[in-house]
């Protein structure tokens, strides 16, 4: 009689090994793929403010408007700078008048000094008179030097004041869309107070969070799959930044994913998923 027990045991062991291998492969595949939830962000958001205080005279854009670099956003009243310009121009006139006066006096003193030196050689004037004229000539030379510098300083101040006029016309620093507007005609523009928020749609990224347990599975430069469900968009992205600061509540780290934005329908704030394989 033939004993089939060893053969049955072999078949059972082989079947068990296959189940274990399949289970390990499935677990491995599941462990290799991580899906993260995130949102579209603009990595180039700017708060637009003025450098000078003044009343807003004109506002050219509204929320949602697309603007080009250099586009006029709003203008500020120029009365303060007009007043400063008038004072500087008056100061230049006074400095130039003083300079011309010292130059005329210096010319006269120099002529008198030369004449008195000739007379001194003939003993027709005293040496004391000549020395006084020499001292006066030296003093006037010093005053001409000082007045010349005063004129130069006043002219430099004039250029500064004139340069301020260009800051009264606040323009867009880059292409983008106006996502926030906090200024109206007649209101006071204040330095440091945001008037507009400009978002650059050509430089969009995905912001997501990853748990510290999965942190070892990513690195900067790693390719990932980016999905934007609302627009049915699927594309490839690259992990561009891993922020080295965890959320103490969730023990997760923020990451940023760059992707080539060839689409015209993606906006900051849209829901997105990131698949890390």
- pLDDT (tens digit per residue) in 167-212: 899 999 999 999 999 999 999 999 989 999 999 888 899 999 999 8
Nearest alpha carbon to residue 256 among 217, 212, 218, 199: 218
Largest CA distance in the chain: 162
Tokens 């020499």 appear where? 134
Distance, CA of 208 to CA of 252 (rounded, Å): 10
CA-based nearest residue to 191, from 166, 165, 161, 170: 170
Neighbouring-strand partners of residue 199: 45, 177
Closest CA to 58 of 191, 192, 196, 183: 183
Which pLDDT belongs to residue 20? 53
Is residue 115 within 8 A of residue 66, CB to CB? The reply is no
Spatial distance between the Cα atoms of 275 and 123, rounded to a whole number of angstroms = 107
Helix H or strand E encompassing 93: helix 79-121
Give the model's pLDDT for residue 187.
94
C-beta neighbour count of 174 within 10 angstroms: 14
CA 270 to chain centre: 25
Give the pLDDT score at 13: 55
Q: Which residues of the chain have pLDDT under 70?
A: 1-31
Q: Which residues contact 222 (CB under 8 A, 6 or more apart)?
A: 238, 239, 276
Q: What pLDDT, on a 0 to 100 scale, did the predictor assign at position 250?
A: 82
**How high is the pLDDT of residue 33?**
80
């Amino acid at each position: 009689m033939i004993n089939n027990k060893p053969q049955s045991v072999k078949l059972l062991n082989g079947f068990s090994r296959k189940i274990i291998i399949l289970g390990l492969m499935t677990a491995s595949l599941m462990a290799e793929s991580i899906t993260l939830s995130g949102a579209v962000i603009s990595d180039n958001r700017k708060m637009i403010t003025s450098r000078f205080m003044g009343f807003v005279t004109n506002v050219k854009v509204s929320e949602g408007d697309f603007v080009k670099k250099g586009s006029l956003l709003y203008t500020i009243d120029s009365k303060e700078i007009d007043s400063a310009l008038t004072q500087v121009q008056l100061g230049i006139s006074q400095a130039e008048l003083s300079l011309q006066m010292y130059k005329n006096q210096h010319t006269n003193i120099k002529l008198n000094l030369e004449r008195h030196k000739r007379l001194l050689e003939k003993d027709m004037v005293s040496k004391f008179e000549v020395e006084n004229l020499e001292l006066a000539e030296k003093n006037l030379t010093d005053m001409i030097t000082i007045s010349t510098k005063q004129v130069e300083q006043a002219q430099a101040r004039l250029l500064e004041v004139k340069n301020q006029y260009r800051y009264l016309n606040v323009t867009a620093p880059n292409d983008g869309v106006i996502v926030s507007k906090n200024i109206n005609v007649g209101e006071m523009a204040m330095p440091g107070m945001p008037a507009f928020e400009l978002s650059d749609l050509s430089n969009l990224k995905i912001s997501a969070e990853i748990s510290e347990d999965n942190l070892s599975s990513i690195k900067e430069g790693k390719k990932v799959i980016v999905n934007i469900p609302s627009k049915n968009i699927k594309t490839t992205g690259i992990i561009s930044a891993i922020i080295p600061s965890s959320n103490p509540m969730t023990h997760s780290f923020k990451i940023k994913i760059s992707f080539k934005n060839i689409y015209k329908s993606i906006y900051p704030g849209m829901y997105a998923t990131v698949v890390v394989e």
